[in-house]
Amino acid sequence: MAEYNPEVYWSRVAQEIEKRGENYIAGDDNPYYRYKRLKFLQKFLDTIDFQSKVVLEVGFGPGGNLKHIATHHTPRKIYGVDVSQNMFEIAAKNLSLCDTVELKKIDGVNIPYPDQFVDISFTVTVLQHNTDEIMFRSLVQELCRVTKTTIIIMEDIGWSTTLGGEGSWIGRQVDVYKSVFAEYGFHLAQFQFLNTKISRLWCGLISAFYTHFSTKRHQEGDPIEVALKFLIGLPMPLTRTLDKIFVEEQNLAQMIFHRV
């Protein structure tokens, strides 16, 4: 496996996203991720009080979260930073009519704003892709530095107790995030899972089975074949119901931190 470089990795994903047109799913586009995206907006993003706040998203991707906030909430100002130049260009197009949004391309470590510049900052599946421990710590420190009151991170929770790892993703435990943010003056106030367990397991099972018999190596962001989309989506009326029953213990969670 080639050494993981966040900018190179997400710039390649951005090239695939650009082929879709106006599409805000940063990775694979299939029925499960569309369902997860809608549930994420309703259960997580729309429960945050953005009214009259100065807001920052670290890792804005194609710009969907910022556009949703700009059009469905009433923040005073929205800032976004991202490591990928390609993502920056896509988001700039998608957000061209949003006057309250300002975007910047960054190096993945430094956030170019003064101390306590924003009221609220947030990330969505960004820190989990910072598998280099030094880069992870630096980005957390920068988030805490530029944020006045509240940091919301929405990351895929796993079983790892370490800060760093190999590859493009690391599933850290909640206590790992809690400990690191505490070092920089923020305490964990709220925590909840999105709860898509059964739908996620079905999607993973079918995708793994399909990939096993495929001659093409799939990479994140690549187009999904019609047959695979059909197989993933077929039982989802049932799996969505079961998601309300079975409690999640990993995958996407929302953690809200407040300055001490």
pLDDT in tens, 60-103: 999 999 999 999 999 999 999 999 999 999 999 999 999 999 99
Angle at 245 between CA 44 and CA 30, to 5 degrees: 60
Q: Contact 251/193 with Cβ under 8 angstroms? A: yes
Q: What is the average pLDDT value for the chain, to the nearest integer?
A: 92
13 lies in the same domain as 75: yes
68 lies in the same domain as 95: yes
How many helices (H) and strands (E) in the chain? 9, 7
Q: What is the pLDDT of residues 229-245, one digit of tens each?
A: 999 999 999 999 999 99
Residue ranges for the chain with pLDDT beneath 50? 1
How confident is the model at residue 45, as a pLDDT?
Answer: 97
Q: Residues near 133 by Cβ (< 8 Å), separated by ≥ 6?
A: 162, 163, 164
Domain count of the fold of the chain: 2
Is 150 domain-assigned?
yes
How confident is the model at residue 1, as a pLDDT?
Answer: 44
201 lies in the same domain as 191: no
Give the helix/strand (H/E) hosting 86. Answer: helix 85-94
